[in-house]
Every structure is written in C-alpha cells, then in structure tokens.
Amino acid sequence: MTQTPSPRPFHHPQPGSALHCGKVSLETLARRYGTPLYVYSAEQIAERLNLFQQALAGRSHLVCYAVKANSALAILKLLADRGAGFDIVSGGELERVLAAAPEAAGRVVFSGVGKTAAEIDLALTAGILEFNVESEAELALLAARARKLKRSARFALRVNPDVFADTHPYISTGLREHKFGIDIRQALGIYKSAAGNRWLEAHGVSVHIGSQIRSAQPFGKAMERVGKLVAQLKHEGIELKCVDAGGGLGIDYHGGAFDAAAKVAEYAAAIQGALANFDGRLLIEPGRFLVAQAGALVARVLTVKRNGKKTFVITDAAMNDLIRPALYQAHHEIVPVRPRPGRPRVVDVVGPVCESGDFFARDRKLAHVEPGDLVALLDAGAYGMAQSSNYNTRMRPAEVLVEGARARLIRRRETMADLLAPEIL
C-alpha cells in the first residue's frame, strides 16, 4: 500500500504562527532545550525510507542507510526498527550501529578506503553482511585477518566505473583520478585471484559515484557497466549474490517544490533497468536523502550589525555547528521561526566564531529579524551534527527528535566538563 506523504516537516500551521516540526513549536523547543538546537522529524525519516522500500518491493533488496550522514543513535534505531541496514565507513560507526540495534549487525556493509586491522576484526567478529573492498592491499589484509580469526569474510570489490556525476568536486567519487575504488577493468582479475582463498567469499560488487546527484542518468550508466562485469564474472564461474549500487541521490536545498516519491521512482527505475539480467539482491546506500530535509538547526539572533554597505545577522550558531556552507559553499534556506512585520533585507548570516569563513549565507535576501528572534536553517539533518566540532571551545548543540506531538531529547547539550574531561595537565 502506497503511503501518503505528510506535509513538509517544518511548517507554519497558521499564518503568522511559529514554525513547527510536526505538531511541536520550535519556540517551545528552544525555550526548553536552548539554542543552537538540532530538531529532526521522525515521520519524515520513516517516510523517506519507505519510499525506497516500496520502489524496490518487486525484488530482493536492502536499504543500507549511510551512517556518516547523521549517526544519532535514536535515528539509527528508528531506521533499524523499520528494516534498514547500514553503510558504515569506520569502526566507530559500527560501534554506533551495535549500540543502537545489535540485531542489525548482519545488515551492515563496511565501506571506506582506509580500514584498519582492528576495524576489520571488529566487523568480522560482529558478523557484518559484507566488506566493500577498495584495493588489492585491503583485500589481502581482509584475508589475513579472516584467517587469523578463522571467520570467512564476505567481500564486494568497490569498482570505479569512471562515470561523471554533476556534483561538487569534493563529493564526486566515480572517476579514475579519485582515491576511491578499483578500476573496473582490473576487477575481473582480482575476483579470479581471490577465488582460491578459503577465507574470502566473493559476495558482491559495489559502486558509489558521488553525492548530491540530482539526475538518475549517472546511476543507470554506472549500473550498466557493473551489470557487464557481473555477467563476465558469471561466465568465469564466479556468481555474485548482490550488487551494491551505493548512494548519492540528491535533494533540493533551495526550498522549491520537491517530489521525493518521483525522484525515488526515477532512481529505482534507472538502477533496476540496468540490472534487469541480475536476479540477486540489490543494496542501496541512501544517507542525505533520508535525513537532510527532516532536520533543521535552530539558532537565536544575537545582533544585527551594519558595517559599511553590509548588514550582518549574527547568530549563536556557528560553523562548528554546521560547516557545510563554509566547506562546500552549500546553500541552506534560512527562515524566521516567527515572522514579524518589516521589509526583507539583503544580509550575511554569520556566527560568532573568529573566522571570516564562519557564515551560513552571503548577500541573502532574508525576512526581517531582530535581536532575540529565532531562525531555522532548513535541510540540515545530514552532515550537520555529524560534521560538527568544538572549535573555539564551543559546546555542540543538543538534538531533539519529534514524533507527532511528542518531542524527546536524543542528545543533551555538551558541557564544559565534557570538553575538558579527556585533557591532562
């Protein structure tokens, strides 16, 4: 049965009212938990997962959430309870999955270019689904650790299909000059050489061409090349059980109309069409698409400052709380939590950190705000808290998960004692 999407998670229930997440006012949450504050919609996350599960319902599949996008334990548990698997890129992320949902260990794929022996041992002991191997040296290390622990290791080579993805160069990963993956032309020989190792099981093949990709075409093109490799392997007597199509499906950060269901359907059709001759299990690794639009960073305006021809709206949130604008020149819509009368102004929205790069928007037309007002930076559920830091000895924000009319704290705000605890005089 098709699920009817709920309204956008952040909305004004009535004209002039405060911005809400679900049925909960962001003003209420800011009073209760302070600012800066990350707020997430559980309903939106569950709905996005369901879109992928419905689109792939006709074949064996597993949606492996990319933990790096947002690794909050409560969000991992929410997804695990709904049948999701997980894509991890570190031993620490595996520990998070095991803490949130130990029963999901067998639904974990381990990606990343620099796995250590200790991380491999942890994953082998936990019994994960497969290792996405990125080099011959890593495959040799995996075989050695599997032999040491006497545990068979299921692996998939992450092949590099040399497909261009029209995205920011920092998050494009599918070309030959990138650090990720193995040249797809070399993969057949590596699979054949691994076939004689009793501790290695050629379980699948993996690909990931980048992130924030808005068109389905590059995904289909990559899968066509993977499909040819799978057929070659089968001809050589190596029959893979799964294909991991990776993640990377993008969202709209500019606040326009966004038909998530149509995007997922287009994406699923492109992948499944290219893999029509493969009847094994399909893995996908969405991250941003599941959580980005479900989250907002709520901040309070400290002051509005005029400096020459520029107007600066200075907030209590900073680049240490949300680094994407400084790192990628990323766009986030910024809206007042409670609209007030007054003409919009062209402003820079910045934080208090001692860096010129501490900004959320430059020369942005922003609705009128005054000191003390709350603003919400939308679409901040992915790569927000996950990339936060304590730069300038700033405590990281609290996090709240909203489920209908209920909001619960899922991470308390850090204290100075937390920051100083690891240090030794």
Q: Give φ, ψ of 233 to 5 degrees.
A: -60, -45
354 a catalytic residue: yes
* Catalytic residue chosen out of the listed positions 21, 64, 242, 354: 354
Q: What gap in Å lies between CA 349 and CA 338, rounded to an integer?
A: 17
Tokens of 197: 């190792």
Whether 296 contacts 21, CB under 8 Å: yes
Q: In whole angstroms, give the CA distance from residue 326 to residue 322.
A: 9
Residues with Cβ < 8 Å from 109, sequence gap 6 or more? Answer: 64, 85, 86, 87, 88, 128, 129, 130, 131, 132, 156, 206, 244, 283, 285
Alpha-carbon distance of 119 to 63, in angstroms, equals: 23
| β 24-25/20-21 pair status | antiparallel
Task: Please list the active-site residues.
Answer: 354
